[in-house]
Structure 1
């Protein structure tokens, strides 16, 4: 019997003088993963009048979403999309790079794909 690991971890990092949120997605995300993550995101931006959030999203171990989880992800974008300024997506492979381009086309924030966290952090610090 194998146990599949999946979920989202959320954190805050500092690079130089800038702070940004970090997301690490692992495995195939479920609706339950979003039920845990969304309150953390909302509490992190609560009380900030006009948040301008930069994000480092590591999807190197992401295997996809369940349909309901994909819907949850879309709802976050609709509810909080204007709060995000830049999202640096770190991943590997053409599929993940394509996903980042789709995010950039359909969202109000600037999303860009990177092969390394170092490059992503540099872009977030510009």
Structure 2
């Protein structure tokens, strides 16, 4: 399930919380939000907080890959907040394989993640 994180969301920063299950509808909603931020700000900065380890539905896996291909040039920074070595490892892989600056933050460093993703935005 996809929900906004209102205390971080705003301007070019799209902040969301994803539950364990990630659906095609979640990817569609995220894609629509990204389109709007890119149109309004020229790029998007993502702050995504995971509740547990994300498990995309089988039908949603293709959407996940399509999202990366479609938006990789438009994502300025991507902060991933969660717990577990698997999520940290996946973040490291994404950082190395894409042109996007992706960084993992433990839940305890949530505020640091919000500061990092919003760094340099004019107030």
1:9 aligns to 2:3 (yes or no)? yes
Structure 2 residue runs of 5 or longer lacking an equivalent are none
Structure 1 pair 86–40 and aligned structure 2 pair: CA distance change class (3 A): closer
2:63 match: secondary structure:
helix
Q: Which has the larger radius of gyration?
A: 1
Say if 2:46 and 2:77, in contact at 8 Å, map to a contact too: yes
Aligned length: 116
CA RMSD, 1 decimal: 2.4
1:26 aligns to 2:43 (yes or no)? no
1:109 aligns to 2:106 (yes or no)? no
Give the structure 2 partner of residue 73 of structure 1.
64
Q: When you count strand as a share of all residues, which structure comes out higher?
A: 1
Cα distance in 2, alignment partners of residues 122 and 38 from structure 1 = 23
1:82 match: secondary structure:
coil
Match among 25, 29, 42 for residue 35 of structure 2: 42
Cα distance in 1, alignment partners of residues 14 and 88 from structure 2 = 20
Structure 1 residue runs of 5 or longer lacking an equivalent are 1-6
TM-score by length of 1: 0.76
Say if 1:8 and 1:23, in contact at 8 Å, map to a contact too: yes
Say if 1:10 and 1:37, in contact at 8 Å, map to a contact too: no
Say if 1:89 and 1:113, in contact at 8 Å, map to a contact too: yes
Cα distance in 1, alignment partners of residues 97 and 36 from structure 2 = 25
Cα distance in 1, alignment partners of residues 5 and 115 from structure 2 = 18
